[in-house]
């Protein structure tokens, strides 16, 4: 008996990298899987149905049941089509895992509108387009598990990926909103922040790539399988870090320090008291990237 016997799953971006490992892992645990993948390169070009087809063939060769979906989840029609395939062809929908993503890297001051829109459409909107019809079904069924994917770039920032970072942090907000909205229906929603060797991490600078490439995508799959199972029916609204054999629960944002006064604040009063009473919650990546802050004072010219 597998943890997911009798369940139906949809995996977006399920043809390569983490999505491929998740598709195979869910199938190995007994789920019937719709493997959705638009089949594009890392930047979102050159669509192909081959990645999804290959994963489906591998699942079937091991005795599982799977269907390939080449839809683009960047559109409402595409997301709806993936969900409808699961309902129509596999008879239900219990699990949604959103792994689809692309990269268009550029510093904020150089990024084009098209580069921004393309990444946000696949990552953030691509979660919504599938979750919208899936939650409608799960609400009626009063059961289901949704696993979203964020990133360290979203949680901590990434200087050359403003579009990707914004989308990935947006996914955390979408996850928490969905967890709150669906709790009374018995449906849970969580987010995974993975570290793994994928096409995306292989593009990182060598000093940042080492930790990721030491971790195979297959390390993420067992965590997804657990969260998708009934054994995790009590877990919702969590951001879960996965790096090799490490599994981490992240805290929810909460106030660190509060400053009050008997009269209204003025800018001058804040300037006098800020460093003493509030300070900052330092960006950890400033230190990790060796960026000095505050910047050195500029010399005045006579």
pLDDT at 44 over 60: no
Please give the pLDDT value at position 106. 95
Q: Look at strands 187-195 and 144-149 and give their pairing.
A: parallel
- What pLDDT shows up at residue 46? 57
Residues 101-126, mean pLDDT to the nearest whole number: 96
Residues 174/167, Cβ–Cβ less than 8 Å = no
pLDDT of residue 211: 53
Helices 162-182 and 113-120 cross at an angle (nearest 10°) of 30
What is the pLDDT at residue 48?
66
pLDDT tens track for 133-181: 999 999 999 999 999 999 999 999 999 999 999 999 999 999 999 999 9
Calculate mean pLDDT across residues 206-221.
69
How many residues would you count in the chain?
302
State residue 284's pLDDT score: 87
Which tokens sit at 29? 């645990």
What per-residue confidence (pLDDT) applies to 42?
Answer: 61
Residue 264: pLDDT over 60: yes
Set 38, 116, 149, 164: catalytic member: 164
pLDDT surpassing 70 at residue 23 = yes
Task: In whole angstroms, give the CA distance from residue 243 to residue 14.
Answer: 19
Position 215 scores a pLDDT of: 78
Judge whether 38 counts as a catalytic residue.
no
What's residue 33's pLDDT? 98
Tell whether the model's pLDDT for residue 68 goes beyond 80: yes
Mean pLDDT lowest for which of 106-110, 187-191, 222-226, 290-294? 290-294
Q: What is the pLDDT of residue 296?
A: 81
As a whole number, the mean pLDDT across the chain is: 91
Percentage of residues in the chain having pLDDT higher than 90: 80
Q: Compute the average pLDDT of residues 2-19.
A: 96
The CA-atom distances, in angstroms, between 299 and each of 199, 291, 295 are: 45, 20, 12
CB 193 within 8 A of CB 150: yes
Q: What is the arithmetic mean of pLDDT over 106-119?
A: 97
- Percent of residues, the chain, with pLDDT higher than 70: 89
The pLDDT score that the predictor gives to residue 214 is 58
pLDDT band at 47 (very low <50, low <70, confident <90, very high): low
Ordered structural domains, the chain, with CATH: 8-249 (3.40.50.720)
Looking at residue 248, its pLDDT comes to: 96
pLDDT surpasses 80 at 266 = yes
* pLDDT of 299 strictly over 70: no
- According to the model, what pLDDT value does residue 216 have? 87
pTM of the predicted structure, to 2 decimals:
0.90
Q: Listing from the earlier edge strand, what are the strands of the sheet with 239-243?
A: 66-69, 32-36, 8-12, 95-98, 144-149, 187-195, 239-243, 246-249
Q: What pLDDT score was predicted for residue 45? A: 60
Determine how many CB atoms are found less than 10 A away from the CB of residue 241: 18
């Amino acid at each position: 008996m597998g943890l997911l016997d009798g369940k139906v799953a949809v995996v977006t971006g399920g043809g390569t990298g983490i999505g491929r490992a998740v598709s195979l892992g869910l199938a190995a645990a007994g789920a019937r899987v719709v493997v959705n993948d638009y089949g594009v390169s890392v930047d979102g070009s050159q669509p192909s149905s081959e990645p999804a087809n290959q994963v489906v063939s591998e699942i079937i060769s091991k005795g599982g049941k799977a269907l390939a979906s080449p839809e683009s989840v960047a559109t409402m029609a595409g997301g709806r089509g993936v969900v409808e395939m699961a309902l129509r062809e596999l008879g239900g929908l219990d699990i949604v895992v959103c792994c689809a993503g692309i990269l268009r890297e550029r510093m904020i001051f150089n990024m084009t509108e098209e580069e921004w829109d393309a990444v946000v459409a696949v990552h953030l909107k691509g979660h919504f387009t599938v979750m919208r019809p899936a939650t409608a079904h799960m609400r009626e069924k009063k059961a289901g598990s949704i696993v979203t994917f964020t990133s360290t770039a979203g949680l901590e920032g990434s200087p050359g990926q403003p579009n990707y970072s914004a989308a990935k942090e947006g996914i955390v907000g979408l996850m928490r909103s969905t967890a709150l909205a669906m709790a009374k229906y018995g449906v849970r929603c969580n987010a995974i922040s993975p570290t793994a060797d994928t096409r995306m991490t292989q593009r990182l600078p060598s000093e940042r790539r080492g930790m990721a490439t030491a971790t195979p995508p297959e390390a993420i799959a067992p965590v997804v399988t657990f969260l998708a199972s009934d054994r995790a029916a009590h877990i919702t609204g969590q951001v879960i870090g996965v790096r090799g054999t490490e599994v981490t629960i992240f805290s929810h944002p909460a106030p660190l320090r509060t400053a009050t006064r008997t009269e209204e604040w003025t800018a001058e009063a804040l300037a006098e008291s800020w460093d003493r009473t509030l300070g900052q919650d330092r960006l950890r990546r400033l230190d990790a990237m060796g960026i000095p802050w505050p910047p050195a004072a500029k010399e005045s010219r006579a």
